[in-house]
Structure 1
Amino acid sequence: MKDQVIKNIIDTHLNKWVEDELNKLPIEIDPAMAGPVNEDDDDWNTWLPIPSTVTDAEIEDFEKQLGHKLPGDYKTFLKHRHFYELQIGEVSFCSHPVNTWRADLAEKIFEGYPTKYLLDKGYIPFADWSDWGLLCFDTNRNQQDHNYPVVLWDHELADEVEDRYDDFYDMAVKIGKE
């Protein structure tokens, strides 16, 4: 049930992204995700969300690199669709392209802000909040199935976090209604 709710929220917002023709970027798009070519937008390429190819084995390998288990609901998110951009309300999720999703997520976690403020303190960033912070899993407060609370880390108050959501599912449902 929870898995389907998460998938429906993702699909609803990705469909809006495509319907509003916001699925264009000035970068090279992986051929598996490439949309129709628009001759009027020479520098912009259209991408389309596609079913995810992420496997349990890939997630387990990433978790080893990370040093933490990922929440079960977030794994559902990773295994549902590939996309280049997904914004729901104030939340902009990490890019999730078909062949580089892992590198993109690793870059956000390990190379975004210094790990001394985030990962070293047990916070795993997975999305941007507006233009001033990151949403992170708080691994210091482990819950069943590793569905950690989601906290907001403000880059201007690096030593503080603010509780935002009970877990990934709670976040998805609440932002999905915005």
Structure 2
Amino acid sequence: MNELKPYQDWMEKWLDNHFDTPHREFLMSHPAKTDEDDFGVPVDMQDGEEDEEGWVRWKMIPSTVTVAQIRELERAHGLPVTVPPLYAAYFTTRFVMSVTLRYNHFGIELPGVPSAHPLRDVHALWENGKSLIRESYIPFATYEDGAGPICWDMLQPREDGDYPVVWFDHEALTEGERIRRSVLETLAQPLFPGFQEMLSSAGSA
């Protein structure tokens, strides 16, 4: 039995709605992949021909990421709990190049899930967020223009498996040093009650 199925169904509809916008052409264009390790659009996600600048439209295709792969990554990075099921559904439903969430005064970038290296972006988030993870703040997205990590507060679980969403300004975090939970609590800026509310209240552009 696939316990994620209801969340995957929700995520599939949300992704379709997110990209159903007059800005679709802009949102779903990206440089084409030219090297195995670059961040371009893989061939199987390309939707048409490259333009003269090497950009190409991309399309969503079914994800082949498994829950087991996500759990392995969680263990590798020492996450104290599993990620919310809707976040796992994000990786296991569709391959996407980029998802930008727009709000009144700011934006949030979810990690890309390209068919080549689909977990690379979230791996980087967790690798760079070791000091936060040790204090039970789990990075899962990025405030616009790389201004800081968007995190769940894992010490405040909800019954539905979700967690409150907070933001840390990277300028307030001392790079390379461990900041105690008591200090992080004063730096955490509340954003949303949970991940689903974050997605549901966003615009696409």
- Of 12, 17, 21, which aligns to 2:17? 12
Q: Aligned pair count?
A: 174
Q: The residue matched to 1:144 in structure 2 has which SS? A: coil
Distance 1:174 1:14, change over 3 A: same
1:136 touches 1:150 (CA, 8 Å); kept in 2? yes
2:8 touches 2:93 (CA, 8 Å); kept in 1? no
Q: The residue matched to 1:99 in structure 2 has which SS? A: coil
- Of 58, 80, 91, which aligns to 2:108? 91
Alignment of 1:63-82 (within 5 A): 63-68=74-79, 69-82=82-95
Alpha-carbon offset, residue 143 of structure 1: 2.9
Alpha-carbon offset, residue 177 of structure 1: 9.0
State the one-letter code of the partner of 1:47: W
Q: Is 1:153 the counterpart of 2:164 in the alignment?
A: no
State the one-letter code of the partner of 1:59: I
State the one-letter code of the partner of 2:191: R
Q: Is 1:126 the counterpart of 2:143 in the alignment?
A: no
Q: Distance in 2 between matches of 1:73 and 1:96?
A: 15
1:6 touches 1:169 (CA, 8 Å); kept in 2? no
Q: Distance in 1 between matches of 2:78 and 2:22?
A: 34
State the one-letter code of the partner of 1:95: G
Deviation digits for residues 44-98 of structure 1 (CA, Å, limit 9, x no counterpart): 2332111221212212212211323111121122222111111121121111112
Q: Which runs of 5+ in 1 are unaligned?
A: none
- Of 70, 74, 92, which aligns to 1:59? 70
CA radius of gyration, larger in? 2
Give the root-mean-square deviation of aligned CA atoms. 2.5
Distance 1:162 1:101, change over 3 A: same
- Of 145, 150, 153, which aligns to 1:138? 153
Q: Which runs of 5+ in 2 are unaligned?
A: 1-5, 34-40, 174-183
* Percent pairwise identity: 25
Distance 1:3 1:27, change over 3 A: closer
2:31 touches 2:56 (CA, 8 Å); kept in 1? yes
Q: Distance in 1 between matches of 2:99 and 2:13?
A: 14
Alpha-carbon offset, residue 12 of structure 1: 1.4
TM superposition score normalised by structure 1: 0.83
Alpha-carbon offset, residue 17 of structure 1: 8.0
State the one-letter code of the partner of 1:162: Q
Aligned to 1:108: 125
Alpha-carbon offset, residue 24 of structure 1: 2.4
Deviation digits for residues 136-158 of structure 1 (CA, Å, limit 9, x no counterpart): 11112233354121111111222
Q: Distance in 1 between matches of 2:64 and 2:7?
A: 20
